[in-house]
Amino acid sequence: MVTRTYDENTVIFFDTTLRDGEQSPGATLSSAEKLEIARQLSRLGVDVIEAGFPAASPDDLKAVQRVAREVGTEDGPTICGLARAVESDIRTCWEGVKDAKKPRIHTFLGTSPYHLRMLNISEEQALERIRNAVTLARSLCEDIEFSPMDAGRTDIEFLIKACATAVEAGATTLNIPDTVGYVIPSEWADKLEHLIAETPGAGPGSGVIWSVHCHNDLGMATANTLAAVKVGVRQVEVTINGIGERAGNTSLEEVAMTIQTRKPYYGLRTNIDSTQIMKTSRMVSNYMGMPVQPNKAIVGANAFAHESGIHQDGVLKDALNFEIMTPESVGLHQSKLVLGKHSGRHALKKRLEELGYQVEGDALNQVFARFKHLADTKKNVTDADLEALMTDEFSKPQEYFSLSDIQVVCGTMGMPTATIRMHNANGETFVQSAVGTGPVDASYRAVDTITKAPNMLIEYSVHSVTEGIDALGEVTVRIGLPNSPRTFGGYGADSDIVVASVKAYVAAVNRMIAGMGLGDIQPEGDAAVVGITTGTD
């Protein structure tokens, strides 16, 4: 368990993976997945979790309430919800977070000329709305954050007035967003320094925390965030893997590891347990169906790989020759042999606990059966295998359809054919065969025929969890609908990559059914019907 401690040199980590991150195209999560990610963010040591936007939908409200009740404990993080500067949003937000031991309401209003025009309000009207919204929020909750949206393009004098109004009305954190990813580090640092010095009631010693929230449209979110930290900002709003609207938000792992690696330069501390970074990154990537680019700083597959002979030689002599931080410091361990096929349930449970997973009863039996199966086919079962297996077992969206069996025939001598057996939520069985350009295509066609939820495959990626021919394969897919900007991701892992591919696809289709409200679609044909689809024409 992380012990969070604070002093004037602590940088507070406000994670918005579950709110701004979930606004990434295709990043829809079920409420169980949000809860699991929130638990992991808490283990990682984030100080504030922005769990969602409760007024967005009844499901969002319920998900925030669950996180508030189950993760917002005495020694857990603050649980925050987002609300527009509108009475109904603020009241709904309070319903979402009030059961947390440390609740926070985060309210915002656009302040740039663009946003005032969009909202059709004058500067005076904006100040009035800020005053009313923050006063109402403060009457419900002690911890209030206010954001002048699009502050990056807001005139500094008006920004000072907006921040002063929010503080006067009771805001305890002032978050300055670069909503459109427009600013550059030196200019941003000057703006923040000026704001901190000139905003009445919010200077050093006032108790008000200054925060930044940067978007990455010009690739400068991390640089802008760190520039702000250097001039006195003490809260950073970040997401895991930098996910978020458009080009994303500032990435948590980049800021945390910079402050840790360049400690003498910043002279600051955080409550982040950096050894939890890799695990959190994988969980978010897998649950959201959003692969991490291989060269992504800190968490990319190549971030610690040394390819050239000179580098390899140098690292063997002394890792510091070419490494500024160790793989272990971010929780990346050499693939270790942890368990074998003779290992028992108890050994598996213990190892999973060491990796941060609590599994009991039926869930443990289920994982143990999967582990035994894997240990039979794969000589060495590693931590990475166990993590992939846990994600595969538990990153489940609401299951309108579940895969029970799959058989494929493929090769150069015939038409690739797949037969799929699936169940729907009523327990009815459907069997369908299809022909495709390859075994994955044939399988996906069969699934489409059963689920009657046709879609476009936008992205398909496969990679092996560990080295070797017997490695477990991980597949992430993203699907979408014509004429809709929304996309849905899915993840699957198996030692057979066709099986992993179908699992990932079924997960994405289930998310699409939930996300598009297609839950009442009738599957193809009668239950237990056997059909054949030809797809190559």
Crossing angle of helices 252-261 and 277-288, in 10° steps, is 170
CA distance 300 to 303: 5
DSSP sequence for 82-118:
EEESSHHHHHHHHHHHTTSSSEEEEEEEE-SHHHHHH
CB of 23 to ligand KIV, least distance (A): 8
DSSP sequence for 401-455:
EEEEEEEEE-SSSS--EEEEEEEETT--EEEEEEE-SSHHHHHHHHHHHHHT---
235 DSSP β-pair partners:
12, 211
CB of 369 to ligand KIV, least distance (A): 43
Query: Which x/- pattern over 55-94 shows residues binding ligand KIV (rule: CB under 6 A)?
Result: ---------------------------x------------
Residue carrying structure tokens 């890799």: 278
Task: Show Cβ contacts of residue 105 under 8 Å, excluding neighbours closer than 6 positions.
Answer: 80, 81, 83, 90, 93, 94, 97, 137, 140, 141, 143, 144, 145
CB of 89 to ligand KIV, least distance (A): 12
Asked if residue 505 lies in contact with residue 388, where contact means CB atoms within 8 angstroms, the answer is: no
Scanning residues 241 to 280, which ones bind ligand KIV (CB under 6 A)?
Answer: none
Query: Where are the extended beta strands (E) located within 154-222?
Result: 173-178, 209-214
Asked if residue 406 lies in contact with residue 433, where contact means CB atoms within 8 angstroms, the answer is: no
**In the complex with Zn ion, which residue's Cβ is closer, 179 or 395?**
179
With CB under 5 to 8 Å by kind, the binding choice for 149 among Zn ion, ligand KIV, none is: ligand KIV
Which residue's CB atom is positioned nearest to Zn ion? 20
**From the list 20, 50, 150, 254, which residue makes contact with Zn ion (rule: CB under 5 A)?**
20
**In the complex with ligand KIV, which residue's Cβ is closer, 108 or 505?**
108
**In the complex with ligand KIV, which residue's Cβ is closer, 133 or 506?**
133
112 binds ligand KIV (CB under 6 A): no
Q: State phi, psi for 531 to the nearest 5 degrees.
A: -125, 170
CB of 479 to ligand KIV, least distance (A): 26
The region of 18-26, 125-133, 182-190, 384-392 touching Zn ion under the rule CB under 5 A is 18-26
**From the list 15, 20, 33, 387, which residue makes contact with ligand KIV (rule: CB under 6 A)?**
20
CB of 79 to ligand KIV, least distance (A): 17
Residue carrying structure tokens 């991490």: 292
Count of residues that bind ligand KIV according to CB under 6 A:
9
Scanning residues 388 to 417, which ones bind ligand KIV (CB under 6 A)?
Answer: none
**From the list 94, 108, 158, 401, which residue makes contact with ligand KIV (rule: CB under 6 A)?**
108
- 88-to-140, 163, 207 alpha-carbon distances in Å: 13, 22, 29
Q: What's the helix, strand, coil split of the chain in %, to 5? A: 45, 20, 35
149 binds ligand KIV (CB under 6 A): yes
CB of 10 to ligand KIV, least distance (A): 21
CB of 233 to ligand KIV, least distance (A): 14
Query: Which x/- pattern over 172-191 shows residues binding ligand KIV (rule: CB under 6 A)?
Result: -----x-x------------
Handedness of CA 365, 366, 370, 371 (dihedral sign): negative
CB of 60 to ligand KIV, least distance (A): 14
Asked if residue 418 lies in contact with residue 432, where contact means CB atoms within 8 angstroms, the answer is: no
CB of 94 to ligand KIV, least distance (A): 17
Query: Which x/- pattern over 205-244 shows residues binding ligand KIV (rule: CB under 6 A)?
Result: --------x-x-----------------------------
**Site of interaction with ligand KIV (CB under 6 A):** 20, 82, 108, 147, 149, 177, 179, 213, 215
**Site of interaction with Zn ion (CB under 5 A):** 20
